[in-house]
Amino acid sequence: MRTPIAYFLLLAGVLFALGIVGVLVNRNALRIFMSVELQLNAVNLTLVAFARLRNDLGGQVLAFFSMVVAAAEVVVGLAIIVSIYRRRRSVDVDEVRELRW
């Protein structure tokens, strides 16, 4: 007996929630970014699980595209973090509050 698909989905949900908590709780920009990657992975897992459930390879293809785009996004995001660091000598997101009241 194979594992019910729901368990994969549940795992993905838990990982997603952990990702969100990581985004909210961390102050280091890089850690926030890593949490976002965790969330993306959870979503990919969901896609592949549904692909298996619905007998449709489109889910796997979409997960593939998601990974590619995530890679591109990580490249650009890290470049931004680097240039911010160069200006401010810090990657603490709490310090970026010019739009304060």
Site for other proteins in 17-56 (CB under 8 A): 17-28, 30-31, 33-35, 37-38, 41, 44-45, 48-49, 51-53, 55
User: Residue 87 CB, nearest distance to other proteins (Å)?
Assistant: 11
User: Residue 40 CB, nearest distance to other proteins (Å)?
Assistant: 9
Q: Convert residues 54-93 into a mask of x (bound to other proteins by CB under 8 A) and - (unbound).
A: -x-xx-xx-xxx-xxxxxxxxxx-xxxxxx-xx----x-x
Nearest to 33 by CA among 89, 67, 73, 90: 73
Residue 96: DSSP 8-state? -
Number of chain residues interacting with other proteins (CB under 8 A): 77
Tokens of 86: 């160069």
**CA-CA distance, 9 to 3, in Å (whole number)?**
11
User: Residue 96 CB, nearest distance to other proteins (Å)?
Assistant: 7
User: Residue 29 CB, nearest distance to other proteins (Å)?
Assistant: 9
**The one-letter amino acid at 61:** V
Residue 97: DSSP 8-state? -
CA 41 to the chain's CA centroid: 6
